[in-house]
Chains A and B, each alone.
Chain A
Amino acid sequence: MNITRNASIVFGVAALVLTAFLPAQQAAAQVSTANEFNVNLQKRDSANPPPWEDGVHDTDNEATFSLQPPEEAYQGLPRTRFGNRIDWVKALDDKQLRPRWDRLDSSEEPFVMDLDIVRPVKASMPDVVFPHRQHTEWLFCSNCHPAIFVPQAGANQINMSAILLGEKCGVCHGKVAFPVTTATCTKCHSKAKPADWKPPLSEATLKNPWR
């Protein structure tokens, strides 16, 4: 019985090895991913892989192997569950990172402006608090004003569709700054509505003659 069980394991492994190394082209062209379970929920098998394992760098290129793996640079930095999985703002606040503000002069300090902008939100989500401080630690005024955001109250129409499509906040958030995920909603939507707040009724509900 032991022999047959061992044989079965050997056969199983052999089958796995054989199929894994067969040429991939013919079958791959026919596989449709349209009906896969949860196509939008693409879990990454490994976070922060080295360049030679990330699928974007060419492994036929020798220099790929001399590039720094992210994990090496991230040692000791605070972690998150999204983006680079690094809390860049916290790393800067805790002085674990000292990125230069000037290309050449490492002693230059950023021009930090500590001003929170509260943006009321029509729907039930908490209101948005935009903190200038964290942004001016990294960026200069001209990066956002006036091209992306007009520096005037009420002059900027922002909605989540625009952000997800890479406009407004989405120029950075969703590309390099922390992305829009379920885990990050409350980073921006952080000011709770008053306790007696009720969502506004939709026009269709108000006009419904059969109510």
Chain B
Amino acid sequence: MPSMISRRPFGISLIAGLLIGLWFWAAPQPAQAEYGDVVINNYADAAGMRPVVFPHWFHRVRFRCKVCHADLGFQFKAGGNEITMAKIVDGQFCGACHNGEVAWSVENCAMCHSGVPGTPTHFHGSTVQRLVAPAFKPLDPAAAAGSQ
């Protein structure tokens, strides 16, 4: 009798451990960036840079929507503004503030270019993203690159 009692928890904990381990191992972990984060990868990957992650929350704490979307001419469309470094250096788009005067300057490349390489342009956590067009995210980037 004591041997039966002692054997049962062994089996259960082993199976539970295996199952939990298997879940961590097999289940793809969804990205959980902040609501409103925009990944912009129009040209970055092709130029050998990480895609840009734009945090809306960070900017709306400091500026009203109007500053960028009316004064600076940002369209309401992820990737729809065709922003390039040349335009930024020229004082357009991000460059209106990220010039070392209002906000830090463009030499901090990796502060913006901080996304996981290969992430497509998308509006993170948006309703359209969740319901209609989930961002393509290869589970194995190496295999995906090989199959193209």
Contacts and interface: CB of A to CB of B under 8 A. Distances in A.
Contacts of B63: 99-100, 103
A161 to B, nearest CB: 11
B33 interface: yes
Interface residues of A, number: 76
Contacts, number: 218
B16 interface: yes
Interface string B6-37: 11011101101110111011111111111111
A110 B76 CA distance: 20
Contact of A56 (B9, B16, B53, B65): B53
Contact of B110 (A61, A83, A100, A180): A61
Contacts of B53: 51, 56-57
B57 to A, nearest CB: 5
A166 interface: yes
B31 A55 contact: yes
B11 to A, nearest CB: 8
Contacts of A12: 13-14, 16-17
A138 B110 contact: no
Interface in A1-51: 1, 4-5, 7-9, 11-20, 22, 24-25, 27-29, 31, 40, 42, 44-46, 48-49, 51
B36 A57 contact: no
B105 to A, nearest CB: 14
A175 B127 contact: yes
Contact of B139 (A1, A25, A42, A85): A25
A137 interface: yes
B25 to A, nearest CB: 5
B14 to A, nearest CB: 5
B61 A73 contact: yes
Contact of B9 (A5, A29, A54, A84): A5
Interface stretch (A120-128, A139-147, A149-157, A198-206): A139-147
Interface of A: 1, 4-5, 7-9, 11-20, 22, 24-25, 27-29, 31, 40, 42, 44-46, 48-49, 51, 53-58, 61-64, 66-68, 70, 73, 83-86, 88, 97, 99-104, 110, 137-140, 142-143, 164-166, 170-172, 174-176, 179-180
Interface of B: 2, 5-7, 9-11, 13-14, 16-18, 20-22, 24-37, 39, 50, 53, 55-58, 60-67, 69-72, 76, 96-97, 102, 108-111, 113-117, 119, 123-124, 126-128, 130-132, 139-140, 143
